[in-house]
Structure 1
Amino acid sequence: MTEIIAGLTTGAIYAMVALGYNVTFLASGVLNFAHANLMVLGMFVAYWAHSIGGLPTVLVFLIALLIAGAVGLVEERFAIRPLRNTSGSAELVTMIGVATVITGVIAVAFGTDALRVPFFGPEQTVVLLGGRAQPLDLIIVAAAIVLAAGLHLITHRTRVGLAALAQTDDREAAQLRGINVGGLSMWGFAVASAAGGLLGPLLVSKTFAATSLALVLAVKGFVVLVLGGVGSHRGVLIAAFGIGLIEAFGARYIGPLYRDVVVFGVFAVVLLAFPQGLFGDRKVRAV
């Protein structure tokens, strides 16, 4: 049970990254590959505001949310919007460049060493169904479930969510129907980025504030996104928990050095059977 809880916690962290990808994709048609970097930015904000500044917890979360949200607005305005009429993979390359810039700025400001930030005080252990876990583990898992459920309801039960689905399916047709796709894209980036920054202080006590963490989260989040199906919040959550459990049991029974090999092996097998992901929609076009 301890391994299951650890796997679910790891999967929840991956789910938060993949859900950020989903939000920007549905709102703008672009995968924000800098989302993991914004989460790491939130971790360093927690280090700066809490460990150095001694600010109260609520203020730390608020500062992380505002800074990351502002960065997201800048991304959309100066890195995405000018490329709307271009073709190819310009937006993808640009987002990778933005991620690199964010990591570089963090490294210059705080260095490249991993920083321990005991944001939630001393670690405690509770017994749950025979396994041991920290209360923060349960909070992270619950946060991922609530976030995925909330995004699913917003996407399929609100006008904003339905507009996002419409522009994802056909951006030009959505514009002709009166949907403000530019505003939708702007707010999608802002909200997703702010949420990423908000999650940074929550996760920093579980991990470390380290620039190298952004790449790991970005890759695993992308694996989860593809497995669960792009645009499917429910699929992303299920795939994330599955990947987390595979990592946990792979590290225990095969060895920690081979857990990534097992994960990407499962990733390849699933994609061979389900190229659109476990819960993704297969699109058929008549030519």
Structure 2
Amino acid sequence: MTSGEYPTAKVNGEEIPYDPDVLRKIQEHPCYSEKACHTFGRMHLAVAPKCNIQCNYCIRDFDCVNESRPGVCSKVLTPEEALVLVREVMGKFSYIKVIGIAGPGDPLANEETFETLRLLKEEFPVPIKCLSTNGLMLPENIDRLEEYDVGNITVTCNAIDPAIGEQIYSFVEWEGEKLHGREAAERLLAQQLKGIEMAVERKMLVKVNTVLIPGVNDHHIVDIAKKMGEMGVYTFNIIPVIPQYKFAHITPPTPADKKAMHDACAPYIRQMKHCARCRSDAIGKLGKDVQDEIYRNCGSL
């Protein structure tokens, strides 16, 4: 099913799926609706420290309270601590509509993710459940995610050509082995595409994040957007690379570069243009985080 095959209704001038549950997952999710980001908030539960791939732009061992980027959190929580935090936040901030797990590693590489989702289903069945992943273990876990009511999934896909992918990933851990080079890129891509296909078949809302890396995949972004649109991905988020780790030498894209890329991709898939590159423990509205206040006052953590 492609993104154009969902039954639609016009909301805020845009044709979107009209199923009430699907509409809620769009209209109340600040990443899926630019209007929602001004009204509704999200909270990320940092329960997933381990990662099963190494991206050449990713560092997860540095935390600055003023830094907003994926992979950063002040404390990794146990599932039980996460539940305490959710109780605290949901009791104070009625505008929080989304509970997500986005790291600081890959959620699907951590069994704590599923224990957290189980606890949430028992006590907080109503908020939108969201998960971000590199997609490596998505096919094997798609049924568990559906069981725990995860309706919004983000997959980071930086290349659909393994020749480009091998420039972006140092290694991929697969079935107890570390894969490198082309083999690693091919395995990751195959799993990403399969997982996205399975999620769309289950009518989950899928967002794809693509890191824009000048000189590496910038000439390839439109190809990714075309492919994701054909697969039924709901929205496409272009994230300018943060120069660090093995890509510390790269000059990041300018806002004008990013806009031009959005414009080039827009004919093929909806564009998310308001990404705040959230931390793994972000709480609040996009750009108006309150996690520092929450963590200071939540004495049970």
TM bucket (normalised to shorter chain) is: under 0.3
Structure exhibiting the larger radius of gyration computed from Cα positions: 1
Which has more helix, going by share of residues?
1
Instruction: Using CA pairs under 8 Å that are at least 6 residues apart, name the structure with larger relative contact order, 1 or 2.
Output: 1
From the two aligned structures, give the one with the greater strand fraction: 2
